[in-house]
Each structure stands twice: as structure tokens, then as C-alpha cells.
Chain A
Amino acid sequence: MITEKTPLPSIQPVKFLLNWGRRYSLWVMNFGLACCAIVLIATSTSKHDFIRIGVIPFAHGPRQADLLVVAGTLTDKMPPALKRVYDQIPDPKYVISFGSCSNCGGPYWDSYSVTKGVDQIVPIDVYVPGCPPRPEALLHGIVKLQEKIKDEDIQEKFSGKLTVPVSS
């Protein structure tokens, strides 16, 4: 039942149009930390070319970005910088954890200096496994993220409930 008090994004055609526009114009922030960054950059170049599915490489700074791709090994000295970049991205924002290192520590699972899982620092929308994953895996991850955005309630997204890291 739509009344005059119904929020605009909740009206089905508006929601569809809004989410359709948002999911095909993801300006991506490159947070490359290790070898996975090479795959991320390769995905942006002509062969795999993720701009054809609506991901725009690369934002000049976090304040312009919609999507953060954490690609690589996050060492224990790096989380403050990642948190800062994440906080600078305006809502609504999405994070893809790309590669085993950022998912869970990967081959550095027993290291003294590697953060085991970027999800301890920032909330993750899509995890892409692999060491490093193929560019196709990143494209698949982006498609999965777009499916998520498609059904998203933008009011819930803005409520702040979703931006709390899992561990806190």
C-alpha cells in the first residue's frame, strides 16, 4: 500500500531504477596490497575489462569510490590505513575481499605479522577465493555483488546497521 508517507526508495519501480543505476556504476577503489593487485589491475584492462559490466577503474580517491576491493596481504601495521580509506568512502559502499590473504590470511595463516581476515577490520560483501584468483573469479564476484545490490533496500543500507564489522 503506497501512501504519501511511503519513502520514495521503497516504491517498487523507483527502487528498481535506483538499484539498477547503482549496480552498473560502481566506481572502484584499488586497495592493492600484494600480487592479487596485479590480477585486479589486469581485470580492469582490455582483455577482461570490467567496465563492460559497469565497474569503473579506478577512483582517484576513496571519497569518489563506491566499491573497495581489498586485494592482497593485510599486515598488522596496515589496518589503520584500510579503516581510514573505508571510512572515507561515502555511503552506500561495498567491499570485495579479493584473494586468500585478505579472506583469511591464506598462505600466511600462521604468520606473526599478517592479519588473518580483512573482515576483522571492515565488513565484506563478497569474498573471492583463490591464490591469486583468476580475473574471471573477480568478474563473478562483481556479478554476485550486483545481484546483491539489485535486491537491496536502500533504507536498510543507509541505516548504518550493515557497516559494523563482524567481529565487533
Chain B
Amino acid sequence: MASSRSLSPPDVESRLRAQFGDDITGFADQVGHAVATVTPGVYRDVCRFLRDEPDFSCDYCDFTSGVDWGPDRGFEVVTHLYSTTHHHNVRVKIALPHDEPVAPSIADLFPTSDWHERETAEMFGIRFEGHPQLVKLLLSEPFEGNPLRKDFALMTREAKPWPGAVEGEEEEEE
């Protein structure tokens, strides 16, 4: 019998830390959602644990996406899990190096993640190891480059710089 008890972010943190210890490298409470940063090595185990542990029962993968933090901080892969029985949200993040980012695939654990990982792969150039078919999802076949990377050059902007205000600059002028 499924309980309707949802775990608060501190509960999630203590349970994950008890299970994975130092592999949980960071934790945050964002708008009531638990956000755990884990090492890439235990990423799959954390996702499987969140799915199979009855207290978590995170049976729904909302999305998998990526963040480009630049050459110094590298990439981040974010997976958002949700429990349809307990109604709590857990986000799992892993940090990856900027050169040759490789992440483990969780497409076998959450079928939703299959297409999301394909999109993240084409947009950020992150390779998902163990993905059944890591081919382009949205971009056309001849497209070259990873358009959501910060260093991706937009040809139109090379020809004509952004004509409007740039974030942060107009505040300095005032």
C-alpha cells in the first residue's frame, strides 16, 4: 500500500548521505525540491536507489538536461525525478569536465531519459555512455557543432553583433 507521505529536502539529504556517504558532494533545497550533486560514478546507483526505494518511489523522470558553466567549471547534467505516489521532487546533478564530457546513461532505468539524453548530447556535446542509440534527435543530420554550448558561434551574430542591451552592461552605465 503506497503511502501519501512526501519527503522533505532535509529527509532526502539524510537518507542519501546515509546510503552514499561522501559521493553526495553537495546538497541544496530549491523551492522545496531536493537537489543533490553526486559524483558521476554513483549517478546511476543514486537514480536506481531513488526509483526502487519504497520511501522515495521516484518513478517518473521529468527531464534530463545539461548546463554549460564555461571552461573552468565544465558541464553539469541535471536529472529531475518525481514520485507520482509520494509527490516529491528530487534533482540529481553531476559535474563533468569541459573537455570530453562523458556521463553515464540512465535510459535503461527511465525510458523518458532516452530522448532527453539524445537532445542533451546534440546540444551540449555530452556523450552518454551506455545509451542504446545516441543519434541526433532535433537537429538536422548535416548540422555541425553543439548549439547550446556557450562557445558556439552564431554566424548571424558574427556578421552583426547583438544590437540591443547586453545583460549587466546597462546597469553599469546608470
The answer to whether A110 touches B140, judged by C-beta atoms less than 8 angstroms apart, is no
The answer to whether B157 touches A113, judged by C-beta atoms less than 8 angstroms apart, is no
The answer to whether A110 touches B157, judged by C-beta atoms less than 8 angstroms apart, is yes
The answer to whether A110 touches B139, judged by C-beta atoms less than 8 angstroms apart, is no
The answer to whether A76 touches B140, judged by C-beta atoms less than 8 angstroms apart, is yes
Decide yes or no whether B156 CB sits under 8 A from chain A. yes
Cα of A113 to Cα of B145 in the assembled complex, Å: 12
The answer to whether A112 touches B147, judged by C-beta atoms less than 8 angstroms apart, is yes
The answer to whether A110 touches B147, judged by C-beta atoms less than 8 angstroms apart, is no
Cα of A109 to Cα of B152 in the assembled complex, Å: 16
How many chain-A residues does the 8 Å CB contact rule pick out? 9
The answer to whether A77 touches B156, judged by C-beta atoms less than 8 angstroms apart, is no
Q: How many A-B residue pairs have CB under 8 A?
A: 20
Chain B interface, DSSP helix/strand/loop, else mixed: loop
The answer to whether B156 touches A109, judged by C-beta atoms less than 8 angstroms apart, is yes
Task: Point out the residues of chain A lying under 8 angstroms from B154, CB to CB.
Answer: 110-112
Nearest neighbor of A76 in chain B, beta-carbon distance: B140
The answer to whether A112 touches B162, judged by C-beta atoms less than 8 angstroms apart, is no
Decide yes or no whether A116 CB sits under 8 A from chain B. yes
Chain A interface, DSSP helix/strand/loop, else mixed: loop
Task: Point out the residues of chain A lying under 8 angstroms from B145, CB to CB.
Answer: 112
Q: Beta-carbon contacts of A17-45 to B below 8 Å, as 1s and 0s?
A: 00000000000000000000000000000
Cα of A105 to Cα of B152 in the assembled complex, Å: 19
Cα of A112 to Cα of B158 in the assembled complex, Å: 12
The answer to whether A113 touches B147, judged by C-beta atoms less than 8 angstroms apart, is yes
Nearest neighbor of A78 in chain B, beta-carbon distance: B140
Cα of A113 to Cα of B155 in the assembled complex, Å: 11
How distant is B30 from chain A, measured CB to nearest CB, in Å?
Answer: 29
Task: Point out the residues of chain A lying under 8 angstroms from B157, CB to CB.
Answer: 110
The answer to whether B139 touches A113, judged by C-beta atoms less than 8 angstroms apart, is yes
Cα of A83 to Cα of B116 in the assembled complex, Å: 30
Q: Beta-carbon contacts of B58-73 to A below 8 Å, as 1s and 0s?
A: 0000000000000000
Task: Point out the residues of chain B lying under 8 angstroms from A111, CB to CB.
Answer: 154, 156
Task: Point out the residues of chain B lying under 8 angstroms from A113, CB to CB.
Answer: 138-139, 147
Task: Point out the residues of chain A lying under 8 angstroms from B162, CB to CB.
Answer: 110
A-facing residues in B108-150 (Cβ within 8 Å): 138-140, 143, 145, 147
How distant is A86 from chain B, measured CB to nearest CB, in Å?
Answer: 20
How distant is B98 from chain A, measured CB to nearest CB, in Å?
Answer: 20
Nearest neighbor of A116 in chain B, beta-carbon distance: B156
Cα of A148 to Cα of B156 in the assembled complex, Å: 34
Cα of A113 to Cα of B147 in the assembled complex, Å: 9
Chain A to chain B: the 9 pairs with minimum beta-carbon distance, closest first: A112-B147, A110-B156, A110-B154, A110-B157, A77-B140, A76-B140, A109-B156, A112-B154, A113-B139
Listed by A's residue number, 19 A-B pairs whose Cβ atoms lie within 8 Å are A76-B140, A76-B143, A77-B140, A105-B156, A110-B154, A110-B156, A110-B157, A110-B162, A111-B154, A111-B156, A112-B143, A112-B145, A112-B147, A112-B152, A112-B154, A113-B138, A113-B139, A113-B147, A116-B156
4 additional A-B residue pairs with CB within 8 Å, beyond A111-B154, A111-B156, A113-B147: A76-B140, A112-B145, A112-B147, A112-B152
